[in-house]
Structure 1
Amino acid sequence: MIIFPAIDIRDGKAVRLVQGKYDQQDTYGDPVEMARKWVEKGATFLHIVDLDGALVGESKNLTAIKEIASTVDVPVQVGGGVRSIEKIEALLESGVSRVILGTSAILDDVFLKEAVSTFGEKIVVSIDAKKGYVATDGWTKTTDRKALTFGKELEALGVKTIVYTDIAKDGMLAGPNFEELQTMNDHLNIDVIASGGISTIEDIKTLHQLHLYGAIVGKALYTGKVELEEILKEV
């Protein structure tokens, strides 16, 4: 199982939000330095979210993202406000390995199909869910679309990897939604990356036992609740 340290960028700084709420933020400094730190500690893949892009649909942190991609010697996946083929191309050209689509994939089927047919496995789709239903627009809106149904649609389109986040768990250090994650993993033939609420070594062990492809760890690393080296020993 791949462990993805998360680097959320807002106004050029590494931050963490609570349950995706933009008015509940902790700031942790330079995202490039943070990227170096996690790689030095053993990270083999980084997960970056452009929070400004996620909220307004416009990437404001491309300079920082480019610097991270060119600085570290591990692959980087990036999401947040990617809503055009041009933005995907710009990120891939900057050295990013995979691009994550969120709101754009849910609201624009034509764009999603073009992205997957053009870039293949370099496209990851993020399914952010609240009580089993897909959420959009930086988690500010909930749709009437079931997360598992959407996952099956993505699989049919040729998507190879998804990130599944339970919004209610994110940033709360209260453990992931194991039941939903198992449902997604058991019913889909694509790679599932767990995100949201991972806070202990026990959480990591449980996710590992569910045979998930990967797990994104954010706040727990930043607060020192878990150490990356310790997590990596488990997986």
Structure 2
Amino acid sequence: MKIFPAVDILEGRCVQLVGGKRETEKAYGSPLASAIRWIDEGATALHIINLDGAFGHAQANVDVMYDLVRSTDVFIQLGGGIRSESDAAGWLNLGVDRVIIGTAATEDPGIIRRLSEEFGSDRIMAGVDARGGEIATHGWEKTAGDVSVWATRFEEEGAGSLLFTNVDVEGLCAGIAREPIERVIGSVKIPVVVSGGVSTLTDLRILLELRAGGAVLGSALYQGLISLPDILKEIQ
């Protein structure tokens, strides 16, 4: 299981939100400084999200994200505001290891197949963000049907992996909700990286038991509730 410290970017700052709501923002300084901190603590991968892009401002933070990609040498998966094939291709050609296609994939599932055929399925991750068991889109403001159905559809379209984010527990630092994770993992054969609520070593042990492909660590890591070196030691 791969561990992805989150570097979420809002208006040029590294932040963490609760449930995707802007008014809950907690800022943690420079995105690049945060990325370097986690790399220095042993991270071999980063989860970078352009929150302004997710909220509809796709061109926001582009320079900041370029700087992150160019200044680090770890595996990077990047999402937020990737609304078209050209958006995805730009990042993949820059050197991002994997792009996350969220809302665009629900509007046009074929984008997953076209990108997978061009760049390889291992570089295309479909975002399955869940609110109340339904897929959440457009910055988590809308829902569009059962997450398991969408997970299966994205796999059929050629996605090499899924990012499952449980919006209901995102940022609360109160632990994961096992049932929806188990349901999504059980509906596909491709790796599922889990985000939302990962707060303790017990959460990591559950994800290992469920054979999750990875885990994104956000608020609990930034608040010091869990230690990245301890986590990396636990999963070895």
Which TM bucket (shorter chain)? over 0.9
Inter-partner Cα distance in structure 2 for 1:207 and 1:226: 16
Aligned to 1:94: 94
Find out whether 1:188 has 2:177 as its counterpart.
no
Look up the equivalent residue of 2:115 and give its one-letter code: A
Q: Percent identity?
A: 38
Aligned to 2:142: 141
Aligned to 2:129: 128
Aligned to 1:217: 217
Inter-partner Cα distance in structure 2 for 1:52 and 1:213: 27
Inter-partner Cα distance in structure 2 for 1:233 and 1:180: 27
Inter-partner Cα distance in structure 2 for 1:234 and 1:183: 24
Aligned to 1:39: 39
Deviations 1:142-183 (A, max 9, x none): 12x110011111111111100101111000111112111112
Inter-partner Cα distance in structure 1 for 2:114 and 2:158: 11
Q: Any runs of at least 4 consecutive aligned residues in structure 1 with deviations exceeding 4 A, and if so which?
A: none
Deviations 1:215-234 (A, max 9, x none): 00100010000010011011
Inter-partner Cα distance in structure 1 for 2:53 and 2:102: 11
CA contact (8 A) 1:9 1:49 kept: yes
Inter-partner Cα distance in structure 2 for 1:115 and 1:22: 31
- What SS does the corresponding residue of 1:182 show, helix, strand or coil? helix
Aligned residues: 234
- What SS does the corresponding residue of 1:47 show, helix, strand or coil? strand
Aligned to 2:84: 84
Inter-partner Cα distance in structure 2 for 1:78 and 1:64: 12
Deviates most, 67-76 or 22-31: 67-76
Inter-partner Cα distance in structure 2 for 1:136 and 1:225: 29
What is the CA RMSD across the aligned residues, in angstroms? Answer: 1.1
- What SS does the corresponding residue of 1:56 show, helix, strand or coil? coil
Inter-partner Cα distance in structure 1 for 2:87 and 2:187: 31
Find out whether 1:73 has 2:49 as its counterpart.
no
Inter-partner Cα distance in structure 2 for 1:176 and 1:82: 27
Inter-partner Cα distance in structure 2 for 1:83 and 1:207: 30
Look up the equivalent residue of 1:113 and give its one-letter code: R
